[in-house]
């Protein structure tokens, strides 16, 4: 199924003004980093505030990396979708009363067809660049030609996307959605409203050109 348009997730939202700018730009989803190892991490109180501010029809996505189930369960009441960005098993991912997506880092030899089968309960696979020792958010791209066109799961393309390369990425991969964090930031955790709007415009531009 070819989607009519490319969905956009803006990840690493920490501030009200960034949330509002993302919604104004047409965000389909907002990502909140709940992994304490990230400089973009927000605590439960902040998640509650930002989650309450998010309007209807914009999905609130919580990003976790190999965390205690209790932490995921606690945060879940403010979230619509869970994003597991570590080495979580399919069984673990399915253990919460929320739909979920699995992030996979594109290390050498990764078999995406096998991963799609293993994570069959996932709503989508989010594909990110691989850097040893770093779970994600590296701001690096990977070789998009490694993504098979006939993967059994919707693809959310991530990793080093920017307003300048996102159109090329969409043309190459034709993903269900794109996900960006560092490429629209002024400083870590603080989005640049101009870059954010440019990113959304670039996605709309390639979609209107017929992907
Ligand atoms: O944003 C983080 O700090 C982060 C930490 C741990 C795992 C993933 C993280 N971010 C996600 O990584 C991808 C790609 O980010 P970028 O656009 O290359 O900066 C994206 O899903 C981020 O949300």
Ligand 1, atom 9, lies closest to the CA of 137
Catalytically active residues are: 11, 128
The proportion of the chain whose per-residue pLDDT surpasses 70, expressed as a percent, equals 99
Residue 182 CB less than 6 A away from ligand 1:
yes
**Model pLDDT for residues 44-80, shown as the tens digit of each residue:** 999 999 999 999 999 999 999 999 999 999 999 999 9
User: ∠129-87-163 over CA atoms, to 5°?
Assistant: 25
Residue nearest to atom 22 of ligand 1 (CA): 137
Q: Whose CA is nearest to atom 11 of ligand 1?
A: 137
**In terms of DSSP H, where are the helices of 54-160?**
69-76, 90-93, 112-118
pLDDT given for residue 166 in this prediction: 98
Is ligand 1 within 6 A of the CB of residue 7? Answer: no
Q: Which ligand 1 atom is the nearest neighbour of the CA of 86?
A: 7
Cβ of 40 less than 6 Å from ligand 1? yes
Q: Which helix (H) or strand (E) holds 8?
A: strand 7-10
Is residue 36 scored above 90 in pLDDT? Answer: yes
Q: 161 in ligand 1 pocket by Cβ < 6 Å?
A: yes
pLDDT at 44: 96
CA distance 122 to 124: 5
Our answer on whether the CB atom of 72 is closer than 6 Å to any ligand 1 atom is no
What are the Cα distances from residue 144, in Å, to 9, 15, 147? 18, 31, 6
Strand pairing partners for 83? 63, 101
**Ranges of each domain in the chain:** 7-208
For position 137, what pLDDT does the model report?
A: 86
DSSP state, residue 59: E
* C-alpha–C-alpha distance, residues 88 and 181, integer Å: 22
Q: pTM higher than 0.95 for the full model?
A: yes
* Per-residue pLDDT reduced to its tens digit, 115-137: 999 999 999 999 999 999 999 88
Signed CA dihedral, 196, 141, 190, 179: sign only: positive
Ligand 1 nearest-atom number relative to CA 156: 21
Q: Give the model's pLDDT for residue 121.
A: 98
How does pLDDT run across 164-209, given as a tens digit for each residue?
A: 999 999 999 999 999 999 999 999 999 999 999 999 999 999 999 9
pLDDT at 2 exceeding the cut of 90: no
CATH 1.10.357.10 fits 7-208, yes or no: no
């Amino acid at each position: 199924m070819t989607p009519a348009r490319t969905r956009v997730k803006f990840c690493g939202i920490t501030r009200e003004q960034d949330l509002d700018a993302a919604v104004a730009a047409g965000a389909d989803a907002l990502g909140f980093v709940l992994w304490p190892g990230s400089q973009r991490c927000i605590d439960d109180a902040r998640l509650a505030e930002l989650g309450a501010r998010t309007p209807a029809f914009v999905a609130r996505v919580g990003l976790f990396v190999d965390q205690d189930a209790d932490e995921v369960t606690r945060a879940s009441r403010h979230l619509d979708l869970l994003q597991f960005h570590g080495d979580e098993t399919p069984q673990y991912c399915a253990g919460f009363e929320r739909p979920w997506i699995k992030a996979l880092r594109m290390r050498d030899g990764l078999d995406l067809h096998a991963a799609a089968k293993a994570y069959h309960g996932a709503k989508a696979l989010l594909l990110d660049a691989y850097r040893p020792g770093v779970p994600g958010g590296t701001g690096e791209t990977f070789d998009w030609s490694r993504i098979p066109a006939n993967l059994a799961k919707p693809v959310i393309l991530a990793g080093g996307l920017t307003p300048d390369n996102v159109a090329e990425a969409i043309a190459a991969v034709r993903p269900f959605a794109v996900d960006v964090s560092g490429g629209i930031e002024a400083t870590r955790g603080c989005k640049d409203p101009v870059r954010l709007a440019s990113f959304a415009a670039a996605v709309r531009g390639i979609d209107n050109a017929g992907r």
